[in-house]
Amino acid sequence: MIVVVIIGILAAMAIPKFMTVAARSKQSEAKKILKQIYVNQRAHFQENETYWDPGGVVLTPANPDAYKDILVELMSTARYAYSMVVNGSSFVATATCADPGLDDDPAPDVWTIDDAGNLVNTSDDVTS
């Protein structure tokens, strides 16, 4: 009986930490794709002296090849939707979590990257 109580206490301490770590690992998708957008946009700028403009089209699992012009595609299991605002010599790409929330609350997880490569978690859905 004491063993069961000890296991219950250990589980109660470990599960919240595991949930946070699991949610943080899901954020790696947004960081990876945004960095890919940044690198490919920089390459496009070097060749064309302007950034590629998606014209308001959003990159989602339902529209996985919307950004194929800059060689960015999504897997069907992607958790984020990606949008971009381009102003000739600058851009900001945004990743918004398409799931209800990474840690099962309604708050969205939002990341941005700009033409200088600044990657920022503007709305962190993962509580520590």
The answer to whether the CB of 60 falls within 8 A of the CB of 98 is yes
DSSP designation for 59: B
pLDDT tens-place string over residues 32-67: 999 999 999 999 999 999 999 999 999 998 888 899
Phi-psi region of 124 (alpha: psi -120 to 50; beta: other; left: phi over 0): beta
CB 65 within 8 A of CB 73: yes
β-pairing, 110-114 vs 119-123, is antiparallel
- Which residues of the chain fall short of a pLDDT of 70? 10-23, 99-105, 127-128
Q: What is the residue type of 101?
A: G
Give all domains of the chain, ordered by start, each with its CATH number: 2-123 (3.30.700)
Q: How far apart are CA 24 and CA 86, in angstroms?
A: 29
pTM of the model: 0.81
